[in-house]
Structure 1
């Protein structure tokens, strides 16, 4: 019985197996490696998956669903027809389809699958993926981050020691990973991502601008008309990779509209999306403590990485042509096939080690004396820590004669615990003593499969308890936050300038290095104390200090050393010349610094 890898994508999904010394993609019943992640329900209640379902997006849009991967682990339901389904239930149908294709292709039963997820998926989303596998009747022990799989596939082919940046841009998600490749090690250094940004956003953007150009409101379109418009937008996007100009047609009611698209126009309308992409790359570089000069190779993965606009933008940022290896949308699946080979201890690949990291910080809630209803997040394992890992931190009682401690386990980067994902609560009995005279050591042990073990030890008694937080994450929704009563007079914390500063501090806390988090958290505590004191002069003085301190901490642009991208010129490239990696400097001058170009970047 074989183990297969499944790249469960937002737009398409693929299967792969390791045999005969290599990773081998698995074709579906249509002879294609790509199975659309689409589900449709017929009028008689039958479910259709894959290409046939995708074809019904136009004809039966109200009975067909796609892109449901974005909502994994959220509890949101989708309704392809009369019945509602959770995203993991819909995903299980896609997984089942790929497993059946694999069994038909390989002629043997499939006992286990290794499934990829976006690197920035949190625990509930990862658990939902495992649940989808279980619903499909397949055992899923290992979850692999998509950029990690792509990095393994690239390194296994090139076998060259280097610092690699994997740019994984799919239909609905963006992941960027810095990877250190040496010997038989593929070590993830840092990850950053956006689970709500993908190639589908460019389709919607083209459609929205098309409607705006012709003065048509979205509400005027029937579901079927809008589905056709999105299809035309996707076609326009793809054709721009082959020709300089594309005419896009769409019918609304009895009226036919048309617009002409060029790469220049697509760039102009996509500036906001490109800025989001740059921010994710910058965050990965910052967390990995690297500059663009430290990156030896940029690897493009994910179907949306095939867009010439995206490849050109990456070339612009890094001053070098990215590596586009075969079909970008197959790279992750090939990496998963290699992971299967490692898991099955195949001779040619058994010594390869793929390390991964914790994409989000893990910590516990601690008391906030200035605002007891908003507990602080105290990190125990910081984001980008190499897995597996084990960390311990000591916490003290907060009140006299306290006889129990509640350990709230959270995941996320926000300064306040309630703004992060609650993974579980643990109640521990402690001997009643004066405030601060009793302590509990809390140890987190986190493995590569996403299983979190929490050990608590009461310091005075030595009593140790172990709790496993893994696949049975509580699914009940968090209670709504208690809102403060509206005050007759405006409290200083409600003034816009103070709210803005607090928002900057909270955002900064998410972005700084782990060793700087305590400094920022102390700034937040002190600012809250001044706000509670309600002395305008003291608040103003401390806010002025914060303006300087925060500006110094939050100012970082990994791209600025080489150029100011906000002032660089945009110019279309010649595809043939752009493929020449030996003339990069001349290409940069030709494609980006051409005099007389009207188009400029906006940050």
Structure 2
């Protein structure tokens, strides 16, 4: 493959997305049509022109057209939720497909070449359905997804850590809508994920919500009525203001944001000045910050590791710019976390690295141009050595198992097959017997989770084996096999060993919309407004 037709790496984020690729001089972030290094993960529908906007234009429309704008769709990936854009309903992976289409079109124009392949990153804690939805989004956008790569693994690749020996690294990844913590062992070109934990509903958006609630309470105390948060336009204005002060407080000790003609719930309007200090922000948002620390603490306890046993702590995701988060992480680990690469771009650069490796392209050094936020980093510190393509070993984020039934009591229970933390790809088998004699079908229900009960875990699919010839109980012989590939995609197969012809069926997960068309009626993505 030549440089004229190279794959790209995409960090498909909750709030913003980033594209990176390999170039003659190394790896680089590809700017969008506006020249920006990141693109808002937002889609909006314009009724007048009956066209769809994605990126910054869509984000700019959110205040005046919130009911026609979709944000933070990453939090809904793998679900059955739908979103209205014009006359049609869209699934989360279809909205993400529109975002990816925007990213691919802009990057292709910037690079002056067609783009057909990509590595797309996901939170390490994403479920099978969420990973499948992400891969489907890429297919909807018109590209082949070479791999769905966990974000912490991408971060290690971007830092070039595979060139180190005998190092243990903790990746703290807090984006707009998700949180991951991953323990990674790096030795002799092998990057092995020891385990992952996190929350798919915890991120920078939650900090914005807390600031909005604080502003609403402050206004209610001062004016006798809170803002009209039930008005979508007022809601968007306040969330936009919260995001602005959050960003400003990353580099300043106080922030001011003007909100003229702000509508209150009682119908009045006020000119409000949002004035907040860094200390107030830290106090208001202490809850989610502490939640990330609690998750990490429990995670390390489960692994049998202590904070002092890590050689490096990497901060990934735009929310890690918040000073209170950096302080909390430093206090927990007893060392200053690494912040020498732009946390918004690390994951995309790592994805581009993996894309090059998968296409047998010799991995050049990561270019530090435009990715160092403040202090200069030596090329040796941020470089990936040529000719040293690493071996990646990821870990299963949540246990996979099946529902079995105790024949004497008829009680059902969760039987783990592949435990969380096990290296993937992985495979496990179990021999089973039907519950009743003369049975001709066996139903397997598949679960994912780390709770001991069926109710505490997520049902992700089922398989029905059969029909097969009826027999006495002691004459049946069946085997079930669970497999998970390097993308984290799960396959479940069952075989009737005693039948004349083996019967094998693959599981259909709860996310299975490959044959559906966009919006239920449209065979293709709508054209994006340029």
Q: TM-score, normalised by structure 2?
A: 0.83
**Match 2:450 to one of 395, 409, 413:** 413
Cα distance per residue 1:394-413 (max 9 Å; x no partner):
22333344444222222223
Query: Which structure has more helix as a fraction of its residues?
Result: 1
User: Conserved in 2, the CA contact under 8 Å of 1:451 and 1:470?
Assistant: no
Query: 1:399 aligns to what?
Result: 436
Work out the CA distance in 2 between the residues paired with 1:249 and 1:378.
57
Work out the CA distance in 2 between the residues paired with 1:81 and 1:431.
52
Once the 2 structures are TM-superposed, how far is the Cα of residue 376 of structure 1 from its aligned partner?
A: 1.6
**Match 1:208 to one of 213, 218, 223:** 213
Cα distance per residue 1:274-316 (max 9 Å; x no partner):
2321222124323433111211111001111111111111111
Once the 2 structures are TM-superposed, how far is the Cα of residue 434 of structure 1 from its aligned partner?
A: 5.3
Partner SS, residue 442 of structure 1 = strand
**Match 2:234 to one of 221, 225, 235:** 225
Query: 1:38 aligns to what?
Result: 42
1:102 aligns with 2:107: yes
Distance 1:370 1:63, change over 3 A: farther
Cα distance per residue 1:522-552 (max 9 Å; x no partner):
xxxxxxxxxxxxxxxxxxxxxxxxxxxxxxx
**Match 1:52 to one of 48, 57, 71:** 57
220-229 or 386-395: bigger deviation = 220-229
Query: 1:310 aligns to what?
Result: 325
1:7 aligns with 2:11: yes
1:454 aligns with 2:521: no
**Match 1:79 to one of 84, 88, 96:** 84
**Match 1:444 to one of 472, 482, 503:** 482
Distance 1:451 1:227, change over 3 A: closer
Once the 2 structures are TM-superposed, how far is the Cα of residue 257 of structure 1 from its aligned partner?
A: 3.2
1:276 aligns with 2:314: no
**Match 1:93 to one of 98, 102, 105:** 98
Work out the CA distance in 2 between the residues paired with 1:324 and 1:72.
29
Greater gyration radius: 1
Partner SS, residue 24 of structure 1 = strand
User: Conserved in 1, the CA contact under 8 Å of 2:316 and 2:344?
Assistant: yes
Aligned positions of 1:319-334 closer than 5 A: 319-334=334-349
1:353 aligns with 2:406: no
User: Conserved in 1, the CA contact under 8 Å of 2:146 and 2:358?
Assistant: no
Work out the CA distance in 2 between the residues paired with 1:50 and 1:139.
22
Partner SS, residue 84 of structure 1 = strand
**Match 1:423 to one of 448, 455, 461:** 461
Distance 1:428 1:157, change over 3 A: closer
Question: RMSD across aligned C-alpha pairs, in angstroms?
Answer: 2.6
Query: Which structure has more strand as a fraction of its residues?
Result: 2
Work out the CA distance in 2 between the residues paired with 1:427 and 1:120.
30
Once the 2 structures are TM-superposed, how far is the Cα of residue 437 of structure 1 from its aligned partner?
A: 6.4
Distance 1:15 1:397, change over 3 A: same
Query: 1:526 aligns to what?
Result: none
User: Conserved in 1, the CA contact under 8 Å of 2:42 and 2:69?
Assistant: yes
Work out the CA distance in 1 between the residues paired with 2:392 and 2:25.
18
User: Conserved in 2, the CA contact under 8 Å of 1:450 and 1:470?
Assistant: no
156-165 or 184-193: bigger deviation = 156-165
Distance 1:427 1:409, change over 3 A: same
Once the 2 structures are TM-superposed, how far is the Cα of residue 187 of structure 1 from its aligned partner?
A: 0.8
443-452 or 121-130: bigger deviation = 443-452
Query: 2:198 aligns to what?
Result: 193
Cα distance per residue 1:60-91 (max 9 Å; x no partner):
22222211111112121122445432221111
User: Conserved in 2, the CA contact under 8 Å of 1:388 and 1:447?
Assistant: yes
Structure 1: gaps of 5 or more residues: 477-603
1:338 aligns with 2:353: yes
User: Conserved in 2, the CA contact under 8 Å of 1:325 and 1:331?
Assistant: no
Once the 2 structures are TM-superposed, how far is the Cα of residue 470 of structure 1 from its aligned partner?
A: 6.8
Cα distance per residue 1:33-67 (max 9 Å; x no partner):
10111111112211111111111122322222211
